[in-house]
Amino acid sequence: MKKLIYLLSIILSSSALAQNVEFTKDNFKDNKDGLKEAKNNIEKGDDLFAMATVFYKQALDPYYLAANKFNPNNALLNYKIGKCYLYSNYKLKSIPFLEKALQLNPAVDPQVHYLLGKAYHLDMQWDKAIKEFQTFQQTLKGDELVLLMGDVNVHISQCLTGKELVKNPIRVFLDNVGPEINSQYPDYGPVISADESVMLFTSRRPTSTGGKIDPEINEPYEDIYISTRKDGKWGTAVNMGSPINTDNHDANSGLSADGQKFLIYIGNNNGDLYESELKGDKWSKPDHMNKNINTSYHESSACYTPDGKSVYFVSDKPDGGLGDRDIYISTKDEKGKWGKAVNLGPTINTQYGEEGVFIHPDGKTLYFSSQGHKSMGGYDIFKSVFDDKTKTWSEPENIGYPVNTPDDDVFFVTSASGRHGYYASFNANGYGEKDIYMITFLGMEKPMVQNNEDNLLASQAAPVKETVIAPVLAIKEAQLTILKGVITDELTKQPLEATIEIVDNLKNEVIASFTSNSATGKYLVSLPAGRNYGIAVKKDNYLFHSENFDIPNTAAYQEVVKDVALKNITVGSKIILKNIFFDFDKATLRPESTNELERLTNLLKVDAPTLKIEISGHTDSKGADDYNKKLSNSRAKAVVDYLISKGISADRLTSVGFGEEQPIATNDTDEGRQLNRRTEFKILSK
């Protein structure tokens, strides 16, 4: 024990007595060749150091580090190495070099305290960081005081915020998504479909389209990659190729909820936004968005609203801006063109930068990154909820540590359920420079089990960034329904490209329109809670198919798989009109039936003007047989009367009431009885 104490005292005393050693002949009389090589390395490193921060890593290795190996006790060289590391992806390696530079020569550079403060900040050594920032403030004078004092105060404020957030971490798993997606190169900016079946992301790989290096950042040009998920596993990512990827920077931005359309950043015109659509199994050539979105400034990222009618996007244009980079919204006009951009206002945008905007499939929860608001450092991810009644955004809420860190945390997206989030982060245990991680938010009602099978498998398949357990929940389960499935021809079973209309039955208006994929027939729509929805699937020469979803505000998240087989317009074909509603125990058509009735009217007037049909009414088994038959007949006649009032000839229409005679489900349950209470139409002749 005495020997250990003695050795420690020698180490501490020698460290305290360490002196700055210059690269001079007097200091290295016995190794002139080594000195010459070291000075040559410093000169080459200095040339790169003077160019820009993107060249710092080339200055570091082999030049500065080689020179430092020859002489580790030069204050200026330690300072430069520390600064290079601080502006690299190995930021925390800067700390011992900056500490040593300050120890060897407290006056090595006026910025040493500022840089060391930033390094401590990134390492979450909050109090040490604050002390260094305050020491740096004392050195500021004149113009520097005016220019830098505010910036340093922001860093101090971020440290104080960081101390608070770290004390109350959110309950999450942070899992690397694995080598199928991540590489040894930078992989970032993930976007997903609402059901997590598709992921697009950006990567800088030497094999990028064109294979060139961007001279301004000394990195390969960006390309977009795609991966699909099956049975809970991501498939090997594939470069999307032409026409999506070009010789320029191509970075993915927003992906529609159904994964059929996405927004692309291309490095033209200082950076513009484009759209592409999946046509069958081919992505269309990116289409340049109009001047209401793209300007001569930098439009960097965007996302679609769930109904596809609006986009949120980020721009640094000064006209209409509130700060460095702001978030805007643009909505399509009646002609389908993107309308004038509107700034989201000071609740969302700050005098600092906002970036990485994402609107949840619920249509009201906005996630974005910001250097302003209450950040713990750099860009943090925030959440704000839109109040449809007051038309205002809630005060942005930091989603918490460890998702947010003292470094930049940008481009965060969530699944429709709110259970998972995805973003990119650097971690020494990852596959490369920057990796994509899946965040699993753990609810209070589900205590974490240490040997959870899913997470055990995930940890074996990929490096785990971090697991944090604390009594705080960040994101509540979403209140919406994901409706998805495959649309086919009833007879041939072949997939069909059909139009899916989403109707707000209470307002009697079409709120969204989508198309199923022509190659697969797949469709997916997001239905936020709090509405009664009518769903209509339409295609020329087929009878339309309708569904009804009444989703109360209190409804929990659910995924409903509904495959639809469309029927040809042939004699004998029969469909249920699921969005025909009557007053209780009456034959009075309710107003929310209007869209379905108009759809039927259009079929008889435009699509099949010679068609003769039968409208039939059906009830469940409750009540007397005669009463049920009379009620069902009256309801069928009410539909026929409506069609006649719209100009359909009476001789083309027949009404009949079957009462409880033709059940399609059991009458022993509420669900079965509800299915039996229905209105149908059948084709009698063409």
Side-chain half-sphere CA neighbours of 336 within 13 A? 2
Residue range 624-674, pLDDT digits in tens: 999 999 999 999 999 999 999 999 999 999 999 999 999 999 999 999 999
Q: Which residue has the higher pLDDT, 511 or 464?
A: 511
Q: Would you say residue 81 lies in a domain?
A: yes
Does 118 lie in the same domain as 46?
Answer: yes
Residue 425 shares a structural domain with residue 521: no
pLDDT number for residue 477: 66
Residues 211-231: pLDDT tens digits? Answer: 888 887 788 999 999 999 999
Domain range spanning residue 563?
A: 479-568
Segment 584-593 mean pLDDT: 93
For residue 69, give the 3-state DSSP assignment: helix
What is the spatial distance between Cα 676 and Cα 576, in angstroms, rounded to a whole number?
10
Predicted confidence at residue 475, as pLDDT, reads 53
Give me the CATH number covering residue 539.
2.60.40.2190
| Per-residue pLDDT at 10 | 38
Do residues 54 and 115 both lie within one domain?
yes
Query: Domain check: are 563 and 575 in the same one?
Result: no
CB 683 within 8 A of CB 612: yes
- The last residue of one of the domains, among 501, 535, 568, is 568
| Confidence tier at 489 by pLDDT (50, 70, 90) | very high
Query: What is the number of other CB atoms lying within 10 angstroms of the CB of residue 97?
Result: 25
- Local structure of 628: helix, strand or coil: helix
**Location of structure tokens 């965007």:** 302
Q: Is 283 helix (H, G, I), strand (E, B) or coil?
A: strand
For residues 262 and 255, give the distance between their C-alpha atoms in angstroms, rounded to a whole number.
4
pTM here is 0.86
The reported pLDDT for the residue numbered 1 is 43
Sheet holding 435-441, edge to edge: 413-414, 420-425, 435-441, 172-176, 464-468
Residue 393 has pLDDT above 60, yes or no: yes
Say if residue 618 is in the same domain as residue 517.
no
- pLDDT reported for residue 428: 73
| Residues 204 and 266 both lie in one domain | yes
Residue 11 confidence (pLDDT) above 70: no
Domain final residue, candidates 118, 149, 167:
167
What's the total number of domains in the chain? 4
Predicted local confidence at residue 443, as pLDDT: 66
CATH of the domain at 56: 1.25.40.10
pLDDT in tens, 419-456: 999 999 887 788 988 899 999 998 664 444 444 444 43
Q: What amino acid occupies position 267?
A: G
- Domain-embedded: residue 645: yes
Distances (CA, A) of 274 to 153, 353, 423, 568: 39, 22, 22, 38
CA dihedral 292, 297, 299, 300 (to 10 degrees): 180
pLDDT, residue 476, reads 59
Q: Smallest Cα–Cα separation from 659: which of 685, 684, 609, 623?
A: 623
Quote the CA–CA distance of 416 and 398 in Å, as a whole number.
20
Task: Report whether pLDDT(4) > 90.
Answer: no
pLDDT at 9: 42
Query: Are 593 and 456 found together in one domain?
Result: no
Instruction: List beta partners, residue 310.
Output: 331
The DSSP code for 436 is E
